[in-house]
Amino acid sequence: MNKLIYSGTFDPFTNGHLDIAARASKLCAELIILVLSNQEKTALFTYEERLDLIKQSITELENVKVDFWDGLLVDYCRINDVTTIIRGLRSETDYNYEKKMALNNQILLPACETLFITAAPEYSCISSSMVKTIASYGGNIEQMVPAHISQAIKAKLTEN
């Protein structure tokens, strides 16, 4: 495959996301990790901060770039000539949610397909909001996110 998009809010990017990105990068010439907004979520980090934190996490992945987009995912795909979206699947609950999103994206842009990569068992219980909740109570998130992201979360929570 030529280009793949791995989309998400990535607030913040976790070790589970990193695992999916690394595996997806082996399937294509170029992987774009695309930071988007989910209007139902209030983000802890700005787009720029998330982009920067992801960039620092993927220094060992040569064919991966990071971008952000404040609009519909399919519009980014259309403008950048991408026809394949990658999403990670951790559970049946993810599947039911992802299926709706993939079908809606396909109605909006029929040429675009969504492919799923199964999350590794050790990352299947990690979620960005769980990481933020644990950190807000002073819990240990070292095994869930890269070290620089753990530091950034702690700094952000102290600031807020």
| Interaction site with ligand COA (CB under 6 A) | 7-10, 14, 16-17, 20, 36, 38, 41, 72-73, 88, 90, 101, 104-105, 119, 123, 126-129
Q: Write the CA distances from 50 to 8, 16, 117, integer angstroms.
A: 11, 15, 22
Active-site choice (17, 50, 87, 132)? 17
Active-site choice (50, 87, 90, 132)? 90
The least CB distance from residue 18 to ligand COA, in Å, is: 8
Query: Is 148 known to be catalytic?
Result: no
Q: Tokens 């299926």 identify what position? A: 99
Active-site choice (41, 99, 100, 148)? 41
**C-alpha–C-alpha distance, residues 26 and 107, integer Å:** 28
Query: Is 90 known to be catalytic?
Result: yes
> Which single residue brings its beta carbon nearest to ligand COA?
16
CB-based burial of residue 70 (10 Å sphere; 0-12 exposed, 13-18 middle, 19+ buried)? exposed
Query: Is 128 known to be catalytic?
Result: yes
CB nearer ligand COA, residue 28 or residue 126: 126
DSSP 3-state assignment of 115? strand
